Each structure stands twice: as structure tokens, then as C-alpha cells.
Chains A and B, each alone.
Chain A
Amino acid sequence: MIRAVIIDDERNSRDIIALMLQRYCPDIEAVAQAANCREGIAQIREHRPQLVFLDLEMPDGTGFDVLTGAYDATFETVFVTAFEKRYLHTIRLSEVELILKPIDRESLQQAVQAVRQRLHHPGKQERYDVLLHNFGKSAKDVRQIVIPLAGGGEYIASIENIAYVEGSTDRTLFSLSNGDLLQSRRPFRYYTELFAGMRFYQINNHQMVQLPHIRHIDHDNLQLHLHNKSVLDITERRKRELAAAWKQS
């Protein structure tokens, strides 16, 4: 049995999570509920849950406040929110589970399944560090990203070290500044959304380069030379726009 605590300021929400867990995830037991951050931290300390269903917006703070407050405890988190664009980016960078209200069965079960797997490999709490690290920063200032590797496990990368990203089928290849290559389980499209508003420039429909990593643009041969010795092809059409963007960065 996995012990869970539900933290939400609306009673209706707490009730429905509890009800749905009872109905669809019988291996999870809602041991306690809390209506605000303060109460939530207290409940976590008291019950030492393995899983916390956490509302993002509460009268006396946010879900992040709860995570910070209960930092000493080790547990997996599933964020539950009605509509929260603001923190979505931060949450996705750190690969923490998130379900949206009104909660449907599939997303709840998926999130619980992911948590279950993580609970089998304990001690991997870096994602929450990344989350708290990135929290409160704008898209341009975020530093770290959790990359779910295709072969299992995660890699925590500094975003500024990503030279370019290349999509292939359902996977995404990351080329780092030191020349390392990583393969993410996520599709390329996921990252184009995630990296929007950063210093990335999509040179074609499957490649995205981070501008500060460009060493030289070969206009004649339509090639892009990066600092990590990678050479990418560019199109005649995007060449000028890229050069302008590169100069500006």
C-alpha cells in the first residue's frame, strides 16, 4: 500500500481525489487531507507519506511552498491543478507528474503508475531539486532540465550546455557542449514547446540549435559550425534569419 496525503483548499477537490483513488487505485491509501500549505506540511511530517497530491494554488501559498517546507521528508509528488499555466513549464522541466481537474481516470492512473515505478528505485530526488531550483524563474533564466533517458533513468543537464537538439521518431537526441550525446524518451515536439522563449533556434523541422553555441555560419556551403565541432546543415531560406538572431543573442 502506498500512503498518500491530499492537499487542496477546496473540499470538493479533496473529496473527489480521495473518491477516485479509492475507486481506481486501490493500492493507494489517502491517509490524510489538508486545506492549506501550513496544514499540509504538518500532515506530511506527521504521516510520512510516499505520495502527496498537491494543489498548486492555495490561500496561504503554493504547492512549492509545501515542497520547500517539507524538504526533509522524502516523497513523490503529483501536482493537481485546475488550470495553471504559470508553473507548467517549471514542472515539465523537472519531469514531475501533474494531473488536471476535473481529474479523469487515465491521467490519474498514469501518474500513479509513474510514481509507483519511481518508488521502486528510491533515492532519486534530484527532480525536486531541479523543480525548486527553476521555480520562480522566467523561461530565460531556468538553468536545469531533467532528461528522461530512453534507456531508463534521468539525466540532469544544465540547459546552457545543450548545443543542439535533434528529433528522431519518438525520441530526441541531445548534443551537449562537451560533445556528449543523450537520447530522451520525449518526442522532439515536446522540447520545441518546452524551449520556446529560450535561446534556441529551430533550423529545420527536426533540429534546434542553441544560439550561443554557434561558432560560425558558413553562408556559402549553408553549414553551421558549432563550438563542439558539430556541423549542421541549414537552409537557404532560414540562413539570414538565423544570422540575425545569432547576432542579437
Chain B
Amino acid sequence: MYRLSLICLLLCAALTGTVRAGDRDTLSVDFSRPVNGLDIRHYLSVFSGNATASQAQGLDYRKDTSFFHRNKKLLFQENDGWFRLTIRNTGPVDSVLYLFAGWQERLFFYSEDASGALRHDASAGMMHYQPGADRWDSYAFPLHVAAGQARTFYLHVENPYYRENELMPVLYDAIHYAQFRHLQADRFKGEALVIQIVIGMLLVLLSITIINYIQLPDKPSMYFSAYLLGLILFFCLRLETKPYQLSFFHSMPMLKYYWDVPALICCFYFMPMLFGRAFLNLRERFPLMDKYYFYSNIFYGACIAACIVLMWMGDYSLPGQIFTWATFLSLIPFGISFVALGRRVRHHPLIRFFLYGSLGLYLLAILSFFRNTEPVPFTPLPELITPYSLLVVGVLVQALSYAAGLSYRNKLVHQEKTRTQEMLIKQLNKNKELQRKLNEQLEELVREQTTEIVRRKTELEEQRKLQMEAEYSKKFAEIELKAIRAQINPHFIFNCLNSIQLFVMQRDFEHAQKYLSDFSYLIRKTLDFSRRNFISLADEITYLNTYLGLEKMRFEQKMSFEILMDPTLNTAELEVPAMLLQPYVENAVKHGMTNEEHTTGLLTIRFTMIAHDMLECIVEDNGLGIERSRQLRTLPGHHQSSGMEISFNRAELLNKMYNTGIQIEIIDKSARGTQESGTIVRVLIPQL
């Protein structure tokens, strides 16, 4: 570029001689000779100010080269100006040269025709849109001048934007203009490549973030997506296949202007702060910072709105200043917040990502401002910064850091989730285990209790059985003992002995001998039988016989007895309970002698089979009868025989134990209505 300019300057120097020869205002150029970037600043009359096309010819044009500049320029207000160029073709043929005045926002080209009237020939500019035409192609305005003729052209430059590209009007012939375009295109290709790469990366990040967001909807991802989208749009608006084509948004050239300062504020301040607030959960962690970020966001939001409104009203330069001031204003608070965050890096791993991303962008931005090769005042506006790539790298660093932070956050969330899930599973397992244990315990308890109940029941039953058995055996033993006592009435024993003593004293040794042996037999049998439950009828009869014989010895003629039995009876086979009858017999002996109607008590014992398996034993006396005896017995001090009662109990017990059906019936003879008195005891003994 410098070289080119130098050549131009040299050319200019070379040409001055020829030019000065003609009119000072008129540029004389031989159109047939090559013209390569001829600097025509000195030949352009300038009117700086606002004017319409109709006023153009009458304006006060002056020579003013300060209007032109080689570099980008920062504008604080709309730059509006008219240039007048009168050019003479000193060449021999009618020809055309091209006027190029830089890549300006709006250019209008007019020419004076032969009659001196102003005619609008062409328009160009970044803000200009012409359907079906390439913006790139229309930046050079053709100057058609006939040979030897001079013509006047007017160029209207209108720049509402805060930046003005190089404004150096030069002339080219067709060939050199093509060369110039070629060079420019090469330069833009490099820039486009960088932007393409950036866009590609941002798109990838956006896709990932959106996918993540779909999987796990959360605010930081959303804000990050919006941030990325803003950046992508910003870069897309600057992605041009040919310089100044605005390929994607060719039909909407103004979009680039609208999405310039607002995009910067949005992508570098508004969205990152929103993102940071949500990402670091500032509301809970650093409420003060959260408040600062919140109010800052309101401020930036207001800035964005103001910029858009201003641009809609046609003012494009003020937004630039707004951005500049907003940046400078935010430097210190941001720095403080970064320091504050930096001090908390250890507490929260996510801070690192946010901090490094933001710091990366800031430091690189500041670095690129310092390294700015454009001789503009110190400004943070990226449009005025060259080289551009450091800033782009900063943006990438920020975006990548944020993305990494998000994924780290997801990891944390996932870890937390996993941990929670693990804990949940653990808790669940614990619960299950607990439930299982409880169930087991319950089952065990139920089982134990059931077993316990069953055991107790069995125990109780056994106990009852044992108790019953014990009771029976005890009762039986008791009754057995009582039976012995009842059957060998001690009274009887000692009276017997007394009687025998008398025989001895009277020296009646024969009787003494007989009764002593009878007595011995009786005692022996009593002891023997009382241990047995059943004895043969023959034994019973012998026993009763002996017993009655001894009683007869005591009472002599006061009593007599007879034992009758069916001659067909097989006395050896038949079984009777041992000495069951004895108490009844003893009773009969006693009662038989208490009746004063008879001098002799008569006792009859009878054994009969009344059925093939039923033995009937009858003990009959001629005493007072049981009823009267009972009446007598109620008198105080009267002997109360328990022998019969014992026999009765014994029979009952035997019935229970051996399932025999022994029946004992006591009948008072008087109850029969006969004249006789006395008692009949009827004992039925079933034979098995």
C-alpha cells in the first residue's frame, strides 16, 4: 500500500509539470496513456456540508486536502461532502478513466452534460443496495471524456458511520483498476478465512451448547447460546466472499450497522454478565457482585436500546461513542469484580473458567488496542483496530472458556447427580435392607410366637395330662391306702386281737389258734389285694368268708351270714375289683346288728351273672335300712363310716382308668314297700 502510494506520489510529481500547464482547476490527463492510481486530491474542489443534488453546481467549492485521509478515521458526526472534478482528455482518442474514492458508506456520482445540466450517473457504498448488482463492482466511477474535451464531475460522499475508511480519490485506467481490485480481493480473502474459521468454531460450540441445553435445560447454557448466536451473527455480517459484498446479508446492508455496537455491547458485556450471574450462581454466592452485574446489565441493555434507537433515527456515530465510554466506564468495576472473583477461585472451580475467559478477551483486546496500527485516537472500537486477529483470538478464548466452564459445570452437576443418585440408591438399598430385616424380624417374631403358642399349648396339654395322671395316681394311691384302712378297720383288727387274747386267757388254744391263722390270712390278703386292682371272684369269696368268720367270732350268735352263688359261675375266671365289696359287707355286719327287731343280724351275699358279660353282686342285710341309719348318724359324735364312700370313689376311679362300667346301687328295702327292713347294695361288674 505504501509502495503504491509512493509510486502515486512519484507519478504525481512527474505529472505536475504537465498539469500545471493547463487550467489550475482542470486536470489534464492523456487518457490514452496508462493511469495507475493518480492522486487527484489537488484537483478536487471540496464542499464540506450538507447539500442536495440541485444545489451541487452552485456550491462554494474550495481546494481542501484536509478532507482526505489515507487511514481509517474515527468520526464523531456524519461526514458529508461534495467534490467537483474537471478533467480534460489531452489524449488523441475519446476514452475513459475510473475514479475510485475508497470503500465509503454512500457515494453518489454525477456528471455535467453538454448543456451544463447535472445528471446522476451512479451510486455506490456499503450502505447501498442495488438488486442484481455487485456492490464490489460499482465502487469505481467511469469518467468518459472525449478527446481534447474537458468535463466536470461531481461526487457526493455521505458517511453517517463512526468510522470512515481511507478517503483518497485516485484515477485508474481499466487495466490498473483491475489490478488494484485483485490486490484488494487477496487481502480480504485472508480476513474472510479467519472469520470463516471463527464462525465454524462458534457454530460447533453453539451446536454443542444447544444439544446440552436440550439435554439439560439451564440458564447458563441458554445465555451462552445467545452469546454465541450474537457473535456468529456479528461475524457472519462481516463474512464476505468478495470485499464489501456482505454475501449472506447482501440484500440487507443496514443490518451490519445495526448489529455492530449493539452486538459488541451484547456479546462482550451484556450476555457474558448474564451468563456469569447464572453460571456462578452469584445471587447465592456473591450477592454484592450479583447486584453489580444486575445493574450493569440494565445499563448495557439500556445502551443497546439507545444505540438501536439512535441508528434507527439515522445517527450511527453516537453509538460508537456510547460503546467507547461504556467500555472505559466498565474497566475499573470489571477489574474489581475480576479481582474479587480471582480471590474466590479456590472456593469455586467454575470461577476459573469465567474469569480466564473474560480476562483473556479483555487482555487480548487491550493488547490489540495498544498494537493498533491505525493512527486513530485510542479507541476500543474493533472496527478501527488492525490487526483484527488478536481480538478474534480473545473472543475465541472467551467462548471456549465459557464452553469448557459449562461442560465442567455439567460434569459437576452430573457428579452431584451421580452422587445423589448413588446416595439415593444407597438409601434405597438401605431401606430395602431395613425393610427386609424388618420383615425377617417380623416373620421371625410371628414364627417364634406361633411356635411359642404351639409349644405352650402342647406344654399346657401335657401338663394337664400329667396333672390328670398325677391326680389320678395320687387319688388312686390315696384311695388305695384308704382302702386298706377301710378294709382292715383298725377297730376290727384290735377287737379281733382282743378276742384272741381272751381265748388265750381262757386257755381255749384251739380257737385261739384257728382265729389267729384266719386273722393272719386276712391281713396278708388285705395287704396283697390292696396293691392289685382286680382279683378273681374265687379269691374275693374266700376273703369275704374269712372276714365274716372273724366277725362271727366277735359277735357270736348276734350275727350270721351266707354267701350264695350261681353254681355255673366260673369263679376263677371272673374278675372283680379287689375288696370293692368289703366295706359294704362290713357295713352290713354293723347294720344287721343294730336292728332290735332281730336278735341276729343276717347277712346275705349273692353272685349272679345277669348277662353274659355282667356280674351282679348283692350284699343284703336285715338291719334298719340305710335311711334310718343315716338319720342316726347325724347325731353328734356318731361314727361316720367312710368305707362305703371310699368304695364308691374307687369304683368311679376304676371306671375312669379302665373304662369299666362298674355301677353301685344302694337300695333301702323299706323303699320297696315290703315289711322287711334292711339295705341292699347292688354292684354290677362288667366282665371284659
Contacts and interface: CB of A to CB of B under 8 A. Distances in A.
Interface of A: 10-13, 15-16, 19-20, 57, 59-62, 64-65, 82-84, 100-103, 135-136
B594 interface: yes
Contact of A102 (B494, B506, B554, B556): B494
A62 B502 CA distance: 23
A61 B638 contact: yes
Contact of B637 (A10, A83, A102, A136): A136
A102 B498 contact: yes
Contacts, number: 63
A238 B593 CA distance: 54
B554 A10 contact: yes
Given A62-B638, A64-B637, 16 more contacts: A11-B556, A12-B498, A16-B498, A16-B505, A19-B502, A19-B506, A59-B590, A59-B593, A62-B637, A82-B491, A83-B491, A83-B494, A84-B491, A102-B500, A102-B501, A136-B637
A143 to B, nearest CB: 17
Contacts of B637: 61-62, 64-65, 135-136
**Could you say which interface size class chain B belongs to?**
20 to 34
A83 B490 contact: yes
25 contacts: A10-B499, A12-B499, A15-B502, A16-B498, A16-B501, A16-B505, A19-B502, A19-B506, A59-B590, A59-B593, A59-B594, A60-B594, A61-B635, A61-B637, A62-B638, A62-B639, A82-B491, A82-B492, A82-B495, A82-B498, A83-B493, A83-B494, A84-B491, A101-B494, A135-B637
Contacts of B638: 61-62
Nearest to B590: A59
B498 A103 contact: yes
A83 B502 CA distance: 18
A60 B594 CA distance: 8
A106 B554 CA distance: 25
B555 interface: yes
A101 B495 contact: yes
B598 to A, nearest CB: 13
Contacts of A15: 502
A241 to B, nearest CB: 25
A10 B555 CA distance: 7
B497 interface: yes
Nearest to B594: A59
Contacts of B556: 11
Contacts of A61: 635, 637-638
Given A57-B491, A83-B490, A19 B555 contact: no
Interface in B569-627: 590, 593-594
A164 B688 CA distance: 61
B132 interface: no
Interface string B516-558: 0000000000000000000000000000000000000011100
Nearest to A15: B502
A64 to B, nearest CB: 6
A191 B310 CA distance: 138
A10 B493 CA distance: 14
Give the interface centre of A60, A83, A102, A135 by most chain B CB atoms within 10 Å. Answer: A102
A102 B497 contact: yes
Given A12-B554, A16-B505, A83-B493, A101 B639 contact: no
B593 A13 contact: no
Give the interface centre of A15, A16, A84 by most chain B CB atoms within 10 Å. Answer: A16
B636 interface: yes
Give the interface centre of A10, A20, A62, A103 by most chain B CB atoms within 10 Å. Answer: A10
A61 B639 CA distance: 8
A10 B556 CA distance: 10
- 3 nearest CB pairs, A to B: A82-B494, A83-B490, A101-B498
Contacts of A11: 556
A84 B495 CA distance: 12
B589 to A, nearest CB: 12
A84 B639 CA distance: 10
Nearest to A68: B637
Interface in B621-668: 635-639
A226 to B, nearest CB: 36
Contacts of B490: 82-83
Contacts of B639: 57, 62
Contacts of A16: 498, 501-502, 505
B287 to A, nearest CB: 79
Contacts of B594: 59-60
B127 to A, nearest CB: 123
A16 B506 CA distance: 9
A102 B512 CA distance: 14
A221 B51 CA distance: 140
Interface in B401-432: none
A100 B495 CA distance: 10
Contacts of A102: 494, 497-498, 500-501
Contacts of A82: 490-495, 498
Give the interface centre of A60, A61, A82 by most chain B CB atoms within 10 Å. Answer: A82
B324 to A, nearest CB: 109
B679 to A, nearest CB: 16
A202 B179 CA distance: 150
Given A64-B637, A136-B637, A13 B495 contact: yes
Contact of B498 (A13, A57, A64): A13
A103 to B, nearest CB: 7
A98 B198 CA distance: 144
A34 B594 CA distance: 16
Contacts of A19: 502, 505-506
A101 B496 CA distance: 10
A235 to B, nearest CB: 33
Contacts of B501: 16, 102-103
A157 B500 CA distance: 42
Nearest to B503: A12
A19 to B, nearest CB: 6
B448 to A, nearest CB: 38
A12 B494 contact: no
A101 B491 CA distance: 9
Given A61-B637, A62-B638, A101 B497 contact: yes
A57 B494 CA distance: 13
A30 to B, nearest CB: 15
B677 to A, nearest CB: 16
A12 B493 CA distance: 14
Interface in B450-492: 490-492
Contacts of A62: 637-639
A83 B496 CA distance: 12
A12 B551 CA distance: 12
Contacts of A13: 495, 498
A19 B555 CA distance: 19
A242 to B, nearest CB: 30
B592 to A, nearest CB: 11
Nearest to A14: B502
Contacts of A83: 490-491, 493-494
Given A16-B502, A64-B637, A10 B495 contact: yes
